[in-house]
Amino acid sequence: MNPLTEKQLEKMLRQAPSDADLDRAVKGLLARAERDGLIDVAYAEVDSPYGALLVARTDRGVVRVALPAGRGRERPHDEVLEELATDVSPRILESPDRLDEERRELEEYFEGRRQKFDVPVDWTLTSPGFRSRALHAVARIPYGKTRTYAEIAKSAGNARAFRAAGTACGHNPIPLIVPCHRVVPSAGGVGNYGGGAEMKQGLLDFEGAL
């Protein structure tokens, strides 16, 4: 089952007599889905200086943050939604109201008014074992600070597994909130990033980390 977006709802309801009727119909369907417990994953787009982010949450917390798509960056958001429908639940719907807190905190971060995210995290998409321990270590890196991949590996229980720590960061499903942009190579430079090296450098500069 594919995720149902507002655009698809519009297509289904294009026979509505007016735009106002269409808007009411869409909101009614969303409200009914909320009321009947038919949404397992809610998502919304959030503007950022780098482009639109896609943020998704379950009842347990933020499950996915997809960085702006582009050359050398994360996949288009439609593909991310397909992944969520397969790996979390097919009952997924665009519902910005359910992500008010996440949207607000991300906006405050990009405005320089927030240094720590308080929204809960759903680790469903994180592989257990070393990767999970590594990303939990990443989540503890303070604003404006960096750690090397080797330091993250040590925190996760295997100081030699710095490459595996890099892989964990590369598969981080919740960037920004779990700040893998703060993990850098021991040899210098910023290293790889799902949003591209330019975005990673920009985030570190913004935080005063480098």
Residue positions annotated with a catalytic role: 180
> Given the DSSP bridges, would you call strands 183-184 and 147-148 parallel, antiparallel or unpaired?
parallel
The SS3 of residue 207 is helix
Nearest by Cα to 93 from 47, 57, 122, 64: 57
To 10 degrees, what angle do helices 162-170 and 130-139 make? 70
User: Look-up: residue for tokens 């591209």?
Assistant: 196
Number of Cβ atoms within 10 Å of the Cβ of 97: 12
Q: Which residues contact 142 (CB under 8 A, 6 or more apart)?
A: 115
Contact present, 135 and 182 (Cβ < 8 Å): no
DSSP letter string, 6-31: HHHHHHHTTTSSSHHHHHHHHHHHHH
